[in-house]
Amino acid sequence: DEMELKVNQDRWLGGGVGVVSCPVNARISPENAGGKGSKTTETIMMGENGFIKLFSPDKCEECGTCQMFCPTDAIWLE
């Protein structure tokens, strides 16, 4: 069964820990891993202007790293 990446905007506090911890995001946009924020919408997800946006959820490898690191459960696999 394929999992689906979900985000809950109401729970997201803008910390970006889940976004930064994502290994796929880090490969696509190395500056993202340094906490600088992605420079490209090729990444799976990105925090922007206080909103979390899914750009390429199809690239998700379902590793669960983002879910593990997000302290507010704003990102999860379902």
DSSP 16-72: -HHHHH-HHHHHH-HHHHTTS--S-TTSSEEEETTEEEES-GGG-----HHHHH-TT
For the chain, 78 residues long, give each residue's pLDDT as a single digit of tens.
788 999 999 999 888 888 889 999 989 987 766 656 667 889 999 888 888 889 999 999 999 999 999 999 999 999
For the whole model, what pTM was predicted?
0.85
